[in-house]
Structure 1
Amino acid sequence: MSFPVRAITLDLDDTIWPIAPVIVRAESALGAWLREHAPRTAARWPLAAMRALRDEVAASHPQLAHDFTRQRLITLERMLREAGDDVALVQPAFDAFFAARCEVEHYDDSLDALDRLAARVPLAALSNGNADLQRIGLMHVFAFQLGAREHGAAKPAASIFHAACAQLDCDPAQVLHVGDDIEMDVVGAHRAGLRSCWINRPDAEGRVREWPHADLRPDLEVPTLAALADWLDAASLPSQSVA
């Protein structure tokens, strides 16, 4: 399948790198920081309790569903306050967490594939998460990064897709959104009028997910970003120009 592509918007977590090990390391780094600087908080809030409180904060602040940073800051403030530690430690505690949150390990194909994609069309990062591409070292391949926190709404809201398209100076139909999440990325992009590419990576046993919707499908389904780069290279041949 070939269709016009003038720009690509890309999800980050679980599209360019796996997010689960990143959060495990970040929470471990936060726990180590608290044991050193706020031991009462560390004792009062072991990992399981901290995660439960984080979920409680998210549930009780639905207006912050687009702002993972603010949710984490509220969680830390409650942890410190209820343990009797200084709430002025909220920001340095978050900084310890966030430094580790930006220490990602890319999928094996990601870096080369991003270079190949960026050589063809402008790339924009479009994420509900709070990763910092500058700190991660990937900002050079992206025209810009637009996060849900900065925009004020999260995928699958059409407004965040349209804001990215406007910044790219492209009509939605000329933009291909790429991501792993069925609802946030594929359904959201489709309903906002963008083309969609579903990254359906095999799990450790080689299994892939089944597409659940009968009324719509992604324009593309690929197992890796490298496969997407192969598709774009082929689509960019003179006989199949995507200009």
Structure 2
Amino acid sequence: MLEPGKIKAITIDLDDTLWPIWPVIERAEKALHDWLAAHAPMASALFANPAALREIRTEMGNSRPELKHDMSALRRESIRLALYRAGENPLLAQEAFEVFFAERQRVTLFDDALPALEFLSERFPVVALSNGNADLQRIGLSRFFRAAIHSREFGVGKPDPRIFHAAAGAVDVQPEHVLHIGDDATLDALGALNAGMQAAWLNRADQPWPHEQEPQVMLTELGELRGLLG
């Protein structure tokens, strides 16, 4: 059972919690492809080949394991490798990545996201906790957050307890006084529980809970938080 009286801070996931991520990624990848088609057509052809793209990403994962938590660096270096293999200028990688990254920040919030952020931020310090590379300043949501902890900067990602503890520490609160909200049963909810936090699993698609240990609360939409924490 949720213990609202213990909650002194909120941590919240971003992708697929506040906005659907795959339409964003698909649009960003198309923008990248169009840019490469105009500036590096051979590399563009590589990215259009699923087998070649898979091989590039596999090689990046094997050769640069230190980047596994940094989605931005992995994307940029994959572009650089494709340019190199295509015999085109690897120095274009940064500019190409910026095209992708700018489009990646053009998100469409779920209808319940903005009211929930307004409600939560009026009552608690809120910390973004993400394995992705969303930029809250560019998206226009930074005013709701006291801090943001990303795996690319911290060096480890969810469900590692250390990143949850870092998020609690960012607002000087012990983990047991934090409620974490997120859509991923393992990375978010179970990760928060193992870090000593309370967990709210956002289950928009009515999926079965896959673990033995259960979160304190399961949500179908963020608006339910008002009744639980109001």
TM-score by length of 2: 0.94
Task: Report the alpha carbon displacement of residue 55 of structure 1 after superposing the two structures with TM.
Answer: 3.8
> In 2, distance between residues paired with 1:180 and 1:45?
30
Task: Report the alpha carbon displacement of residue 152 of structure 1 after superposing the two structures with TM.
Answer: 0.9
Show CA shifts across 1:146-193 (max 9, x none). 100111110111111111111111110000011011111111111111
- Aligned with 1:194 (options 197, 213, 220): 197
Instruction: Say if 1:112 and 1:226, in contact at 8 Å, map to a contact too.
Output: yes
Long gaps (5+) in structure 2: none
> In 1, distance between residues paired with 2:26 and 2:117?
25
The SS at the match of 1:45 is: helix
Q: Once superposed, what is the RMSD of the aligned Cα atoms?
A: 1.5
Task: Report the alpha carbon displacement of residue 45 of structure 1 after superposing the two structures with TM.
Answer: 2.6
Show CA shifts across 1:51-85 (max 9, x none). 42454145414432211111111200111001111
- Aligned with 1:219 (options 196, 216, 223): 216
Q: Which residue of 2 aligns with 1:37?
A: 39
> In 1, distance between residues paired with 2:156 and 2:40?
34
Instruction: Say if 2:32 and 2:97, in contact at 8 Å, map to a contact too.
Output: yes
Q: Which residue of 2 aligns with 1:10?
A: 12
Long gaps (5+) in structure 1: 203-207, 234-243
TM-score by length of 1: 0.89
Q: Kindly, what percent of the aligned residue pairs are identical?
A: 44
The SS at the match of 2:201 is: strand
Show CA shifts across 1:115-145 (max 9, x none). 0111111110000001100000000000011
- Aligned with 1:68 (options 62, 67, 71): 71
> Which amino acid in structure 2 is aligned with residue 64 of structure 1?
L
Q: Which residue of 2 aligns with 1:24?
A: 26
> In 1, distance between residues paired with 2:104 and 2:49?
16
- Aligned with 2:110 (options 83, 107, 112): 107
- What pairs up with 1:1-243 in 2 under 5 angstroms? 1-3=1-3, 4-46=6-48, 48-49=50-51, 51-53=53-55, 55-57=57-59, 59-60=61-62, 61-202=64-205, 208-214=206-212, 216-233=213-230
> In 1, distance between residues paired with 2:56 and 2:23?
17
The SS at the match of 1:188 is: helix
Task: Report the alpha carbon displacement of residue 40 of structure 1 after superposing the two structures with TM.
Answer: 1.9
